């Protein structure tokens, strides 16, 4: 399977996780970690359920990936997430030494992979990561838009 086809495939799986978050009353963001073409960790937003402002989908996934690999460095992995990571998650991604980040919708309020700022290409950061944004962006964005639209109606 070609890389771009794989990206769409895995993003569809992340969208499923985002819908799971939505069903649980959380902001619908899903994330997966791939190593050697294998899904090794996944997560969705859980700040409300866990009473933890840091329980973003990416953080949940990175923690599970570290446990799976028995290493805090997640070298040669690809992280898929339905929304561009915030600065907290981007910092964790850098510290984990993820090799590649693929995200769906751009986040024009807090996105730290290019929309508001780009921590991944800051000249003082010593780790470089390949970033690909906009994969299934419409689908990822629509889930979030509908979620917040319903919230405003209540």
Per-residue pLDDT of the chain (154 residues; tens, 9 = 90+): 677 899 999 999 999 999 999 999 999 999 999 999 999 999 999 999 999 999 999 999 999 999 999 999 999 999 999 999 999 999 999 999 999 999 999 999 999 999 999 999 999 998 999 999 999 999 999 999 989 988 788 6
**Beta strand 130-133 pairing with 38-44:** unpaired
Q: Looking at residue 153, what is its pLDDT?
A: 82
Distance (Å, whole) CA 83 – CA 62: 15
pLDDT value of residue 150: 83
Domain locations along the chain: 1-153
What span, in angstroms and rounded, lies between the C-alpha atoms of 76 and 99?
5
The catalytic residue among 58, 84, 139, 142 is: 58
Is 89 annotated to bind a ligand? Reply is yes
Using CA atoms, how far apart are residues 69 and 86, in angstroms rounded to an integer?
Answer: 24
Alpha helix (H) residue ranges in the chain: 3-23, 47-50, 57-69, 87-96, 137-153
For position 154, what pLDDT does the model report? 67
Q: What is the largest CA-CA distance in the chain?
A: 46
pLDDT at residue 3, as a whole number: 72
56 is in an annotated binding site: yes
121 labelled as ligand-binding? no
Global pTM reads: 0.95
- CATH fold, domain 1-153, is Cytidine Deaminase; domain 2 (3.40.140)
Q: Is 138 helix (H, G, I), strand (E, B) or coil?
A: helix
- In angstroms, what CA-CA distances link 119 with 95, 110, 144? 12, 12, 24
Indicate if 26 belongs to the active site: no
């Amino acid at each position: 399977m070609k890389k771009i086809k794989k990206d769409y495939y895995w993003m569809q799986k992340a969208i499923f996780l985002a819908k799971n978050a939505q069903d649980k009353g959380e902001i619908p963001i899903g994330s997966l970690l791939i190593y050697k073409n294998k899904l090794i960790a996944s997560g969705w937003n859980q700040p409300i359920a866990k009473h933890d402002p840091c329980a973003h989908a990416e953080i949940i996934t990175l923690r599970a990936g570290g446990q799976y690999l028995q290493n805090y460095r997640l070298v040669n992995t690809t992280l898929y997430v339905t929304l561009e990571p915030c600065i907290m998650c981007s910092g964790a991604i850098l510290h984990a030494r993820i090799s590649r980040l693929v995200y769906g919708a751009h986040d024009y309020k807090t996105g730290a992979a290019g929309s508001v700022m780009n921590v991944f290409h800051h000249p003082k950061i010593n780790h470089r990561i390949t970033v690909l944004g906009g994969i299934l962006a419409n689908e990822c964005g629509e889930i979030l838009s509908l979620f917040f639209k319903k919230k405003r109606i209540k």
